[in-house]
């Protein structure tokens, strides 16, 4: 038995003992994706965290994702195998700064990308992910101002898709900000005919130069349905493992090998095993903040029908 098999066997035993489920984001390292019970994008993982009847959720992703799971399931123990796995974009918006912006725009609705702290969610009307941001913003009456926090590039994508002007926060994802339209031009000359798909956390010139702008879950669906032999993928490179595994007949080319989120790479099988052994590090949210944040997160999960105009 090699080291990975040994770890997997030990993790299986611990999982049963603890009544645990392992959820992994599409950007996790291949070994983590392969041992997870479920791999998905942010929205799919939030839904799984809410619906699971496990007592323990081992969240293989970054801090805000584990926090969202804790908000949705206060009765479950949520473990993040490496506490340092944060999201720099989530840390670009503080609740105090958002409160000041709200004061400057009384009556504005606040749509908050799920890549945010629980405190920011608690001050927002509704959350969204990259897969439903356009739909969530469209729920609000066109005459109402909308503050979109913290991703300026996802916000700009929503502006282009809806034709609305939003009040954008200046946050961004350092990993996706590395992608460029020059890389797309280069990929098009090297792989003529291959569709280029990019994540909406990318800058405007990148989104506009691409064929499709999709969340990681949307990219998985595109790869399954496109019926092409080669796809250029503009997002964090971890997604390529899942794409290749699910579509063995298709060649996937990363738009940039440099699109790596160091935080997403912090989780390893060893750390998952230690987390299950020690039941640490636990992610908890102050109950009062969690109560307010839950309203915004639940609205996101409820879908289009909700009274927030
Ligand atoms: P999605 O999986 O929702 O596309 O999100 C990407 C991301 O950056 C998560 O941190
Ligand atoms: Fe945050 Fe970007 Fe990493 Fe996603 S890929 S966790 S948005 S830094």
In a domain, 73, yes or no: yes
In a domain, 96, yes or no: yes
Q: Which H or E run includes 239?
A: helix 239-246
| Residue 234 contacts residue 196 (beta carbons within 8 Å) | yes
In total, how many domains does the chain have? 3
Note whether 27 and 79 are same-domain residues: yes
Taking the mean position of all CA atoms in its chain, how far away is CA 269?
21
In a domain, 30, yes or no: yes
Note whether 181 and 229 are same-domain residues: yes
Note whether 234 and 278 are same-domain residues: no
pLDDT in tens, the chain (309 residues): 788 889 999 999 999 999 999 999 999 999 999 999 999 999 899 999 999 999 999 999 999 999 999 999 999 999 999 999 999 999 999 999 999 999 999 999 999 999 999 999 999 999 999 999 999 999 999 999 999 999 999 999 999 999 999 999 999 999 999 999 999 999 999 999 999 999 999 999 999 999 999 999 999 999 999 999 999 999 999 999 999 999 999 999 999 999 999 999 999 999 999 999 999 999 999 999 999 999 999 999 987 644 443
**Ligand 1 atom, smallest distance to 216 CA:** 4
In a domain, 308, yes or no: no
* CATH assignment at residue 148: 3.40.50.10800
**Which residues make Cβ contacts (< 8 Å) with residue 190, sequence separation at least 6?**
none
Nearest ligand to the CA of 26 is 1
CA angle at 68 for the pair 63 and 72, rounded to the nearest 5°: 150
CA atoms in the 13 A half-sphere facing the CB of 274: 11
| Residue 61 contacts residue 275 (beta carbons within 8 Å) | no
Supply the range of the domain harboring residue 246. 175-260
Nearest ligand to the CA of 173 is 2
Note whether 154 and 281 are same-domain residues: no
In a domain, 107, yes or no: yes
**Ligand 1 atom, smallest distance to 215 CA:** 4
202 Cβ closer than 6 Å to some ligand 1 atom: no
Q: Work out the end-to-end distance of the chain between its first and last CA atoms, rounded to an integer number of angstroms.
A: 58
CA 13 / ligand 2 centre spacing (Å): 31
Note whether 127 and 163 are same-domain residues: yes
Q: For ligand 2, atom 1, name the residue with the nearest CA.
A: 87
Note whether 155 and 140 are same-domain residues: yes
Note whether 198 and 125 are same-domain residues: no
In a domain, 65, yes or no: yes
Note whether 38 and 184 are same-domain residues: no
Note whether 65 and 114 are same-domain residues: no
3-state SS, residue 59: strand
Note whether 13 and 46 are same-domain residues: yes
In a domain, 307, yes or no: no
3-state SS, residue 77: strand
Note whether 179 and 147 are same-domain residues: no
* Secondary structure tally for the chain: helices H, strands E: 14, 12
Q: Tell me the whole-structure pTM to 2 decimals.
A: 0.95
Q: Any residues with Cβ below 6 Å from ligand 2, and which?
A: 62, 87-89, 115, 173-176, 201, 236, 261, 263-264
Q: For ligand 2, atom 2, name the residue with the nearest CA.
A: 173
Nearest ligand to the CA of 216 is 1
Note whether 252 and 268 are same-domain residues: no
């Amino acid at each position: 038995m090699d080291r990975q098999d040994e770890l997997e066997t030990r993790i299986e035993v611990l999982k049963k003992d603890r009544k645990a489920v392992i959820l992994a984001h599409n950007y996790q390292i291949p070994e983590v994706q392969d041992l997870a019970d479920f791999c998905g994008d942010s929205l799919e993982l939030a839904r799984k965290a809410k619906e699971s009847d496990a007592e323990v959720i081992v969240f293989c992703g970054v801090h805000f994702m584990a926090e969202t799971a804790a908000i949705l399931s206060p009765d479950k123990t949520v473990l993040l195998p490496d506490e340092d796995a944060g999201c720099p974009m989530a840390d670009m918006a503080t609740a105090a700064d958002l409160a000041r912006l709200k004061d400057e725009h009384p009556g504005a609705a606040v749509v908050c990308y799920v890549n945010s702290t629980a405190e920011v969610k608690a001050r927002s009307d509704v959350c969204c992910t990259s897969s439903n941001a356009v739909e969530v913003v469209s729920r609000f009456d066109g005459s109402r101002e909308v503050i979109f926090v913290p991703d300026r590039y996802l916000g700009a994508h929503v502006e282009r898709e809806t034709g609305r002007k939003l009040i954008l926060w200046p946050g961004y994802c350092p990993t996706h900000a590395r992608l460029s339209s020059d890389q797309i031009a280069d990929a098009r000359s090297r792989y003529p005919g291959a569709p280029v798909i990019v994540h909406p956390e990318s800058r405007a010139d990148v989104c506009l130069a691409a064929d499709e702008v999709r969340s990681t879950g949307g990219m998985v669906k595109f790869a399954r349905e496109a019926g092409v032999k080669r796809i250029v993928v503009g997002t964090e490179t971890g997604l390529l493992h899942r794409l290749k595994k699910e579509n063995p007949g298709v060649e996937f080319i990363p738009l940039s090998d440099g699109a790596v989120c160091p935080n997403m790479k912090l989780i390893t099988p060893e750390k998952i095993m230690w987390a299950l052994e020690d039941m640490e590090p636990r992610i908890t949210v102050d109950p009062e903040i969690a109560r307010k944040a839950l309203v915004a997160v639940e609205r996101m999960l409820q879908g289009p029908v909700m009274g927030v105009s």
